[in-house]
Each structure stands twice: as C-alpha cells, then as structure tokens.
Chain A
Amino acid sequence: MQWKLLLPGVVLLAVIWLVSFVTNQPLKGVATEASAQPTADIDESIQKVNTFFTRRWASEGLQPAKKVDDLSVLRRIALALMGTVPSLEEIRAFEQDSGPDRLHRWTARFLHDRRYGEYFAERLARGFVGVEGGQFIVYRRDRFLSWLSEQLEANRPYSELVREMIAGNGLWTDEPEVNFVMAGYDDGEGFNQNKLAGRAVRAFLGQRIDCAQCHDHPFDHWKQNEFAGLAAHFGQLKLSPVGVREDRNLKFEVEDRNTLKQTVVEPAVPFGEKWEPPNGTPRERLAAWVTHPENRRLERAIVNRVWGLLFGRSWIEPVDDLPDPPGDEIAGPKVEGAKHPKAMKPGEQDLLDVLGADFREHGYDLRRLIEVIVASKPFLLESKSDIDDVQRLDRMKEHFAIFPLTRLRPEQIIGSLLQSSSLTTIDQNSHLISRFIKLTRSNDFVKEYGDLGENELEDRAGTILQALLRMNGNLVSETIDANPFTASGRISQMAPDDNQRLELCYLVCLTRRPTTEESAYFLPVLEETRPNRRGLVVEDLYWTLFNSPEFAWNH
C-alpha cells in the first residue's frame, strides 16, 4: 500500500531532478562581463549628439532637467532593450560594480543578452511586417522574428538586413527574410505590389507614400505615377514550388482610373535615379537604391525608430512619416506649412542626420547606435523638473530637455510583473517553469491590456480596462501571492528586518529605494503586523507598487 503513497513523491522528485538538470545546462545567449564587450571609441559620436542638444536647448532657451541617477538609467535601458525591469540579482551586481563606464558596460551586457534579440526583433518587426499573423501556409511571422532576432544577436549591418528583406528569394521557412514580401501575398489575389511598395517606403525610408496609390498625396509631393514605378519593382515576384523568385516575363500593369486601360509600368524610382544600378532583378535594384549610402532616408528612418524605441517617443512623430531630408535637392516641390518645424531649424543639422551619418559611417551598426543614444545627454536626464509651467514643460518634452514619461508597452508591463515575482533574473538560464509562464501568459496579457499594434509609439494615456486588469486581474494576483516560490514570499520570510523587507520590495518592483515619507508610512504597517500575517502585508505592498503610475510608465 505504501508504494502507492510514495509514487507521487517519486514522480515529483524525478521532475525536480530533470528540471534542475536541464536548467543547469548553461544555454547560449546569456551575456557575461567577458563576452559582452562594449563598442570602443564611441565618445566622439556621443559628443556630436550632446553638442546638438546643447545648442538646441540654448537656442530654444531651455534649461534641461537634472542628470538622473544610474539606477534609473539601468531601469530605462533594461525596459527598452529587454522589455523588463532589472532583476534584484542585476541590481545588486550593478551596485557593486564600481569600475569606470559602468552604464556603458551594462548597456553592452544587455545588448549581448538573448532577451535583447528577442524583444527588439519584435519591436522592429512591427515596423517591417506589422502584427498580423497572415496566412500561415504562405507566411511565417514567427520564422521572420527568429531570423531577425538572430541577426540582431550577430549584430549584422542594418543595410544588409534591409537588402535581404527586399530582394530575398526562396521559401519563407528556409529563408525567413522573404516573409517580408510574403506579408504582401494574398491567397486569392497573389502579390500585392502596392502594399509592398507602401510598406517598404514606410518601414525603411520612413515616409508614407501609400496614399499616392489612389491619388496624389494630400500634403506631400508624392505623385500617383511615382508610386506605380516603385510598386513595379515587385512586379516580377512569383510564388513557385521553391518559394519566392523572380519571373522576368511578368509585367506590372496598372489600370488608368479614367480610361480604364491597362498600362504596363516599368520599375522607376521617384528620386535619386543615379542610386539605382542598371543590373540585377527589379527587387535587387530597389534594394540597392533603398540602401544606397546617399539615400539619407534609410538612416534617418531607422535612427528615428530606434530613438523612439529607447525613449518611448520618436524624435519626429509619427515615427514613419518623416519630412524630406533637409537640404535634399532632389525633393519635390516644397509643400506649404512644414509638417515638422522641430526638424527644420535653418542652418542647423537635424538630429536624424547627425546620428544617421554616424550610423552609416560605422557600418550601419545597430548595437553601436543604441550605445551612443543611451549614453548621450537626453537619455540621462531626469523625468521630473521644478518647472510647473505646462507650456514650458511641453517645449522641454518636445526638445528632449526632460526624459519623457511614456506608457509602458503591455509586453514591458508583463515582463516587469513576472520579473518582480522572482529575485533572480528570468532569462535563458532560468527555471523552465518561469520561462513557460512567461511564454504562455504574455500573449493573453498583451491582448487584454490592449496590444498597441504597429503604432506602438503613439503617445497614449492609460485606460480603465488596464486599471481593472492591474488591480483585479488573475496574473497580478498570482504574481504577488506570497509563497515559498515567489519573490514576495521570500521577502516576507527571509528579509532580516522590516527596513530591508520594504527596501527589497521597492528595489524589485520599482528599481529604487523608498523615500523617507514612504518608509514613514509603510514601516509602521509592517511593524505592527504579526509574523504570520506578514505575507499578506507584503502582498498588499506588491499590489500597491504594481498599481502605481511609476510601475506602469517609463520615466
């Protein structure tokens, strides 16, 4: 009889042994001090950005906010690059690190972490292929994501990635970059050349030419025939048993809306004709044109997007509707009322060009671009200020003289919630169960919290649904549950005293220590609690911290 009682125990032990065996096998992708070398010689680049801002703030008569403390910067970097707050383990290691260039080294460390590849790939992919899953048989967004993630980990030059996405051939499962064109494939209608052209210009050149498909652009100078010429580059796309390829016999035809006649349109570009090589397939020629070093739109677009992903707000908004590069001779007729006065200061180089040129000159190195931006002055400013004047604050925000308060993306919220439920870092090496929860719960939570879709850099306020989900949702309730396996449980049991208990909760959830006022309020609450009810009080504290604006906003 007794063996029957023992059986569940044996199974449990076996599972525990298996799990610990697997989790003790170090996986690749976890950065260590040694493997994560920061990029050398970026000081000059940082200086260029700093000079730009020093001048901009002076010319706008703005006094920038104060410099923020390092721990706050660490939180910003972790959220921007990995979609989570730093773990207690990381905070402790960071605070013990007294070497020079601490933030720079830690940026590099996060940039070499597998979590960066995965998280940042999803962010970039939203601009490249959108969020729709599409038709599974002919389009594999998941494969595209893991491809992009690997490219980010290998830190391949951005221009090469763009070329491969536009001109790639083969099966979407073997050559995942071709999912960029497969996203423009529809079962009934075949390739949608217009959609592809619009997407390519928007994603890679940061301009919206889509509406020129049906009519001339209402505000910009784009003409309908210019759009057709671009779309014609995708006119020889063909789906074959070996995947995407080019069929030289295909012609791209457009119906004239007045005469209803079909006319063949040859591939042509709306500007920079000399950048388009005469040889190669139409897509190869388009790829070469898009990534030509003189086509400043490429670098401006990605700089604006990366800036947006790091700050939560792009330099020019919306992120993919940029004005023509200042001083661009080939731009069309000037349109009345410049859309973005911020980017148009006479006699001054635009930030996108300062960073763009630097990015191009250093081999389209995305990792380096990120390192430069997070080490430059605007990223290191406080998100608070003594100034209370709304208009002045708005101008500071516009010129990044204060770090902007932006709503965390749902992925960042859930990443942070789950990380806060553990004292150690949840990454490739962590417990299978934590990783499983992270995978399975993330999607549901993101959906319920309100996925921001492609336009995730839009400035949005919170919603009632989100407040309800944070206050009463299942996941939050499970995460704060004080049991021996959660951070809240361990903190309530193992912290030596209430002071430390409080401090740990704050560090884990908010990446800071409590203020004097906060200690004055919460310490008595903790102290008057009997030890057996301590878990509940820590749960309440966790709930409170999770529901604070500080937790849900990047600051």
Chain B
Amino acid sequence: MSKSVSTNLAGPNSPLALRPSSLTRRNLLQAAFASGLSFALPGLELRAAEARGDDRQKSLIVIWLGGGASQLETWDPHPGKKIGGPTKSIKTTLPGLEIADLYPRVAEQIHELNVIRSLVSKEGDHERGTYLLKTGFRPDPTLIHPSLGAIASHELPDDKLEIPSHISLLGGQYSARGGFLGEIFDAFKIYDPSNGIRNLKARVDDDRQQKRLAGLDVVTKSFQAGRRVQVENTLHQLTVERALRMMTSEQLKAFEIDQEPQAIRDAYGDTQFGHGCLAARRLVETGVRAVEVTLMGWDTHANNFTGHATQAKELDPALAALIHDLKQRDLLASTLVLCVGEFGRTPKINGLEGRDHWPRGFSCLVGGGGLRSGVVIGETDTEPQTEQDANKSTAMPHDPIEVPDLFATILRQLGVEFDKEVLTPIGRPMKFSSGKPIERLVAST
C-alpha cells in the first residue's frame, strides 16, 4: 500500500479536505513534535502516574491467546456433553457461571470481569482472524487498520512518557500495528521482558556520544537538502530521538520485575508469560497506554485437551494475579483488560483428539477500566443434534456478539471517540470502529 499517495483524492474544495483530522504521516509528525519531543523535557510528572481510580487516564492490557484458545476448555465448557470432551467445570465467584476446571484461580477473580461466550466472526485463518481481533476490522487489501493499542496511544497521548506508549511483550508473528496511523504507533516489541530491552546503553562515554550526535546532525542535514519531506516521512530522526530519550529514562525501571516482592512474583508464576503480565502491570502503572502480552501455543489441532491443560498452567495464575494486583493497587478501574485470541475451536473433536479453527461462537473476557463487571453474555449450543450440526456454519450461538461491537465498547470506555471519521493518508475517511458499543457492559452512571 502506498501511504503517502497524499490527500489529493480530496480536492481543495472537497469537504474532506476541510476536516481537521487528516492523518498524513507529516501531520502526525508535526503533532508529535508539537507535543514536545525535545530533549529538554521535565521528568515524569509523578502526579499523573500516581493518580488512581477515576482520576487516572485509562490504559489497556490485551492478553493475547495466540493460535486460538478453545472456548470449551476455557470460559464456556460443556461437561458431560459430546462436544465437551473430557473437560470438567468448576463454580466461580459469579453465581451460575462455571468455567473449565483448569482455571481455579481465574474462577476466584472472574467477578471483576465480564464474559462473552458468543463472539462471532467469519475469519477462520490465523492471519485474517488475528487481524480482525486486533483491529476490529476484516482485512482489506487497500489499507491496514490500526490495532486497539495503536488507537489508544494515538488518541490518548501522554507527553510525559519517555518509553513507548504501545508495547508488545512476547509477541508472536503478527504483532499489533499502527496501520494507517503510522508505524510510530506500531507496538514496541519486547520478546522476553525478563531480559530487559537490548541495546539500551550507549557504547561510549557521554563526551564522545555528544560528538557523534553532533556529527549526525551535520550528515542528516546534507541528506535532507532537497529531501525535507521525504526524510521526515522516514521517521528516522524521530525514532533516533525517541531512542535517545528512552536510553536515559528513569521509566525503564518499569521493566525491572525483579524489584517486585517475591510473593507477587510467585503469584504471577515463574514463567515467561507470568513475567510478561507482571511487566504489563508495572508498565501501565508507569503510564504506558497499551500493553499486549502474548501467550502462544493454543493451536491444538491435535491433543487439544493436554495442550490446553499445559497452557492453563501459565494463563491461570498470571491472569488471576494480574486482575487481583490491579485491583489491589486501585488500577483496575482505569485499566481495561481484554483476554482473547483470533478465534475459538470446533465443538467437534477430530480424529487426533484435537479441535480445529472455529470463528462462530467463541469466548473472551473483558473488564476493568470502569466497565460493569460480572455480566455474562451469550450461550453456545450445548447439545447439537448431530455431529454435523455441531460444525455447521449456520449453528450460531445465542445472543451473538460481532467483533466490531466489542471494539466499539472498549474504545468508548477508554475515552476514544470511536465513531469519529479520520482521513487515512490516502484520503479515505475511516472510523476507528464500525461497531456499536454493547450497552450491557457499560456501567450506568
């Protein structure tokens, strides 16, 4: 796609041209500079990061279940039924709600969240499904939509933040992108948070570093001659400046999970994913707008049941500890948590004891950030008449929820005007979400 085919599709007299929110990369840049990217910024104003409850700016944590977790082995078990397989269920703190018995600790925290058991989509391919569940839009060959985290970072800027405002931990193949908002809103990828971020230390003393940077100004300037606009579009200068700002930032401490008391670290679990969730909490506490933590390994075409049991050992403690920890620190009211993957898995159990891709009627957990809690939406068929019925694409869950509606709900709750039209770099008007908020999830004030 060509990002800078400019806004010329909208002529000077077109109403589109008058919109203030045109999103060329240049405008973004100017906005970025205007919002203060100079080196002379004051340190983090502690008040913003220390605010709690409703006074605090909203943040987002996405727990991404890469590969597609089975709804039947997580939040929507059907024990004793043919489609249920050997998975058992347990009671939860929500009266009437039972989840898979692989999640005893989430069962104690689930009243803080909401459960949707009837998400529906048409995308049964990993790449396409991931795109939909990260952006709220189906893939479109003519543009790339921004992910939830990118929209949040773009719409809710924080110029006191010296580390990236959109971070992906343990990311898989398709991490969250900035899309038409620009690459600067791509998630900053850290594969293993317990190792910290690589390449953060300058190799030479400050004196030489300053000389190097002064030289860089000279060389950059001569390259910019005759290429001002083009060079700006590369974001080269901006990324170098942000990297430098980050290298010396106190806020990097957010990554140091070994600063946490042992009890807390134990609660999250001594796994990469557990470390990721703990780092996510610390990052949000520091003021990072959006964090995505990925747990891969859900694509259980074979041995679905043992596979999900293994996964649960990581997910259960980490997710439960995250919710509990956020609540303890009075951060849950300002932190929206979404736990979802690209699709669910088939009710039908295949010959290899596996379940295949299933975008019709799968589950997610969503809550915090001031949403209501304890709401359970949707229901899937417990006992399809025949095995064929179970996998029929026409077998819709009760009370189906479309993915865009979930996204509109989250964006609105974050404080983003989700149905505002913005112009993409090629001049196409787009909304951040095409859905309608799910009113049942929104707290009445």
- Which of A's residues lie within 8 Å of B, judged by CB? 188, 208, 211, 214-215, 219, 257-258, 260, 313, 317-318, 321, 339, 382-386, 388, 390-391, 393-395, 397-398, 405, 407, 448, 450, 458-469, 471-473, 477, 515, 517-518, 521-522, 525, 536, 540-541, 543-545, 547-550, 552-553, 555
Q: Is residue B142 contacting chain A, with contact meaning CB distance below 8 A? A: yes
Known: A390-B6, A468-B199, A472-B203. A544 touches B216 (CB 8 A): yes
Extra 5 A-B pairs, beta carbons < 8 Å, given A188-B352, A464-B246, A515-B222: A260-B392, A384-B225, A386-B226, A525-B215, A545-B219
In the bound complex, residues from chain B placing their C-beta under 8 Å from that of A394 are: 4-6, 8
In the bound complex, residues from chain B placing their C-beta under 8 Å from that of A405 are: 227, 230-231, 233-234
Minimal beta-carbon separation of A444 from chain B (angstroms): 11
In the bound complex, residues from chain B placing their C-beta under 8 Å from that of A215 are: 122
> In whole angstroms, what is the CA distance A325 to B341 when docked?
39
Task: Fill in one digit per residue for B371-415: 1 if any A CB lies within 8 Å of its CB, else 0.
Answer: 000000000000000001000111000000000000000000000
CB pair A260–B388 under 8 Å, yes or no, is yes
In the bound complex, residues from chain A placing their C-beta under 8 Å from that of B430 are: none
Q: Is residue B237 contacting chain A, with contact meaning CB distance below 8 A? A: yes
CB pair A541–B220 under 8 Å, yes or no, is no
Known: A260-B392, A339-B142, A549-B237. A460 touches B203 (CB 8 A): no
> In whole angstroms, what is the CA distance A390 to B239 when docked?
21
10 contacts between A and B (CB under 8 A): A188-B302, A208-B141, A384-B226, A385-B226, A397-B4, A405-B227, A522-B218, A525-B215, A548-B220, A549-B234
Picked from A339, A390, A460, A465, the residue with its CB within 8 Å of the CB of B189 is A465
> In whole angstroms, what is the CA distance A547 to B237 when docked?
10
Known: A391-B7, A461-B183, A464-B188. A536 touches B208 (CB 8 A): yes
In the bound complex, residues from chain A placing their C-beta under 8 Å from that of B352 are: 188
Closest 8 CB pairs of A and B: A384-B226, A394-B6, A544-B215, A549-B236, A467-B243, A461-B235, A472-B199, A550-B223
In the bound complex, residues from chain A placing their C-beta under 8 Å from that of B202 are: 471-472
Minimal beta-carbon separation of A421 from chain B (angstroms): 16
In the bound complex, residues from chain B placing their C-beta under 8 Å from that of A260 are: 388, 392
CB pair B242–A464 under 8 Å, yes or no, is yes
Q: Is residue B259 contacting chain A, with contact meaning CB distance below 8 A? A: no
CB-nearest residue of chain B relative to A398? B5
In the bound complex, residues from chain A placing their C-beta under 8 Å from that of B189 are: 450, 465
Minimal beta-carbon separation of B149 from chain A (angstroms): 15
Minimal beta-carbon separation of A350 from chain B (angstroms): 17
CB pair A521–B215 under 8 Å, yes or no, is yes
CB pair A521–B218 under 8 Å, yes or no, is yes
Give B227-253 interface residues, CB cut-off 8 Å to A.
227-231, 233-237, 239-240, 242-244, 246-247
> In whole angstroms, what is the CA distance A388 to B26 when docked?
13
In the bound complex, residues from chain B placing their C-beta under 8 Å from that of A550 are: 219-220, 223
Q: Is residue B24 contacting chain A, with contact meaning CB distance below 8 A? A: yes
In the bound complex, residues from chain A placing their C-beta under 8 Å from that of B226 are: 382, 384-386
In the bound complex, residues from chain A placing their C-beta under 8 Å from that of B200 are: 468, 472
> In whole angstroms, what is the CA distance A32 to B212 when docked?
39
- Which of B's residues lie within 8 Å of A, judged by CB? 1-8, 24-26, 122, 124, 128, 141-142, 164, 182-184, 186, 188-189, 197-204, 208, 211-212, 215-216, 218-223, 225-231, 233-237, 239-240, 242-244, 246-247, 301-302, 352, 388, 392-394
In the bound complex, residues from chain B placing their C-beta under 8 Å from that of A547 are: 212, 216, 240
Minimal beta-carbon separation of A492 from chain B (angstroms): 15
> In whole angstroms, what is the CA distance A391 to B223 when docked?
21
In the bound complex, residues from chain B placing their C-beta under 8 Å from that of A313 are: 2
Minimal beta-carbon separation of B193 from chain A (angstroms): 14
CB pair A462–B231 under 8 Å, yes or no, is no
In the bound complex, residues from chain A placing their C-beta under 8 Å from that of B394 are: 258
> In whole angstroms, what is the CA distance A550 to B225 when docked?
11
Picked from B124, B141, B208, B219, the residue with its CB within 8 Å of the CB of A321 is B141
CB pair A467–B229 under 8 Å, yes or no, is no
> In whole angstroms, what is the CA distance A394 to B426 when docked?
10
Picked from A188, A383, A459, A544, the residue with its CB within 8 Å of the CB of B3 is A459
Known: A405-B234, A462-B235. A525 touches B211 (CB 8 A): yes
CB pair A549–B220 under 8 Å, yes or no, is yes
In the bound complex, residues from chain B placing their C-beta under 8 Å from that of A467 are: 236, 239-240, 242-243
Known: A208-B141, A384-B225, A462-B235. A517 touches B198 (CB 8 A): no
Picked from B164, B199, B225, B230, the residue with its CB within 8 Å of the CB of A471 is B199
> In whole angstroms, what is the CA distance A418 to B51 when docked?
49
In the bound complex, residues from chain A placing their C-beta under 8 Å from that of B234 are: 405, 407, 461-462, 549, 553
CB pair B219–A548 under 8 Å, yes or no, is yes
> In whole angstroms, what is the CA distance A448 to B200 when docked?
14
> In whole angstroms, what is the CA distance A469 to B200 when docked?
9
CB pair B215–A540 under 8 Å, yes or no, is yes
CB-nearest residue of chain B relative to A544? B215
